[in-house]
Chains A and B, each alone.
Chain A
């Protein structure tokens, strides 16, 4: 499923990828997401990722992404209806804000990140104990996958942009289906729809329109450690989101449509459309660390 729906869910304004926006020391950020994808071959994918971020210091933040997913493929003359459900691989990574320019009501940041995908999912799911389910229905890669990249962004009270590039290096597992390593690049631009003019006093709720593009290039897949020929793919998608932000939470809804899908084989499953919904809540972390340091 990961091949069709990128893991990416965000920690801030861009909805489909990581950004460089700050997470304060001792701040917790929790984001609940719901994503649905429709594709050819009667594919239906549902994902419920939960992202947790924590500010270790003003520059260091750690993130964990937990995901539950369901996928199904329609029956054809060659196969019955297939489906799977379960936990996907969990992502953990650290982000360090290496460069920032803060001005009144605007910020520009660059932050490298590094971590790994942990094999909480299963890469060897089978149909009734028989053949492997297709890769799109597997919930994991079967290995610990190093993950690294860089993210940057500019934001102000009227518009902003963000971009990132990440690489997920998927080692080959001896058993099951090993998805190829993935190069991913994203871009985003947002404009403030509300308020058009900031009030003289106070902190208004904000409504932001965000346009995003996601590019992914997947390397060859391996099955039981053997190269599966003609299994690379390149996908470019675009997304439109509407986000409402307040002091303590943010909610967003959006749609995703593929612009370009290039695969080695013509009958490869292709995405048709996706829908996204997320709710993000900001929390102060438990203050035992602070209290202990004061005693």
Chain B
């Protein structure tokens, strides 16, 4: 009986935590950066390399026709136009204007162009590198 109560408690708490996570994820930040000089898929990869090293960047939407990249950040992540422009600069491009807005649910990442950014957490540098690239 105690075991059942304990399992139910764990399930309830787990569900609550999961729901809480989804809720807060939707409360993140979205940055939309206009790009200059990016004309091919390879150019977007240059920027993704920089975003992979940006704390809190979770999703990126790559739009070639609009020449822009949209980045969704986790709740609590520090996002400034300058940090996005610095990423563009480090990728080799002249940065364009950046707008930042608060995300309101529901957040849909199923449209064409969305990519999940990778932030390997393992301490092994080789495993981290493999996870990042393959």
Q: Is A107 an interface residue (CB 8 A)?
A: yes
Q: Is A81 an interface residue (CB 8 A)?
A: no
Residues on B with C-beta less than 8 A from A22 are 37, 43, 46, 91-93
Residues on B with C-beta less than 8 A from A247 are 41-42, 44-45, 48, 62, 115
Q: Mark A3-34, 1 if CB is under 8 A from B, else 0.
A: 00000000011000000011111110000000
User: In chain B, residues 64-118, which have Cβ atoms closer than 8 Å to a Cβ of chain A?
Assistant: 64-67, 89-94, 96, 111-113, 115
Q: Nearest CB to that of B95 among chain A residues?
A: A102
Report how far A205 CA is from B42 CA in the complex, Å. Answer: 10
Q: Which interface residue of B48, B49, B90 has the most chain A CB atoms within 10 A?
A: B49
Q: Is B47 an interface residue (CB 8 A)?
A: yes
Residues on A with C-beta less than 8 A from B39 are 105-107, 155-157, 160
Q: Is A282 an interface residue (CB 8 A)?
A: yes
Residues on B with C-beta less than 8 A from A288 are 125
Q: Is B52 an interface residue (CB 8 A)?
A: yes
User: In chain B, residues 24-53, which have Cβ atoms closer than 8 Å to a Cβ of chain A?
Assistant: 34-50, 52-53
User: In chain A, residues 188-232, which have Cβ atoms closer than 8 Å to a Cβ of chain B?
Assistant: 198-206
The binding surface of chain B is classed by DSSP as mixed
Say yes or no: B113 contacts A201, CB within 8 Å.
yes
Q: B15 → chain A, closest Cβ, in Å?
A: 34
Say yes or no: B94 contacts A100, CB within 8 Å.
yes
Q: A59-B92, A100-B94, A203-B63 are in contact. Are A245 and B53 (CB under 8 A)?
A: no
- Residue B112 contacts which of A55, A157, A202 (CB distance < 8 angstroms)? A202
Report how many residues on chain B are interfacial, defined by Cβ distance under 8 Å: 43
Residues on B with C-beta less than 8 A from A285 are 49
Say yes or no: B125 contacts A206, CB within 8 Å.
no
Residues on A with C-beta less than 8 A from B34 are 104
Q: Is B128 an interface residue (CB 8 A)?
A: yes
Say yes or no: B92 contacts A105, CB within 8 Å.
no
Say yes or no: B62 contacts A107, CB within 8 Å.
no
Q: A200-B65, A201-B111 are in contact. Are A106 and B37 (CB under 8 A)?
A: yes
Report how far A57 CA is from B111 CA in the complex, Å. Answer: 33
- Residue B42 contacts which of A57, A245, A286 (CB distance < 8 angstroms)? A245
Report how far A158 CA is from B34 CA in the complex, Å. Answer: 19
Q: Mark A255-295, 1 if CB is under 8 A from B, else 0.
A: 00000000000000000000000000011111110100000
Q: List 30 A-B contacts (CB under 8 A).
A: A21-B42, A22-B46, A22-B91, A22-B92, A24-B45, A25-B90, A27-B49, A55-B92, A58-B92, A100-B37, A105-B64, A107-B39, A155-B40, A198-B64, A198-B65, A201-B63, A201-B111, A202-B64, A202-B112, A203-B44, A245-B40, A245-B42, A247-B42, A247-B45, A247-B62, A284-B53, A284-B133, A286-B128, A286-B129, A287-B132
Residues of A within 8 A of B (CB): 12-13, 21-27, 55, 57-59, 97, 100, 102-107, 155-157, 160, 198-206, 245-248, 250, 282-288, 290
User: Contacts A22-B46, A202-B111, A204-B41 given; 11 further ones with Cβ under 8 A?
Assistant: A22-B43, A22-B91, A25-B90, A26-B50, A107-B36, A157-B64, A198-B65, A203-B62, A204-B64, A285-B49, A290-B53
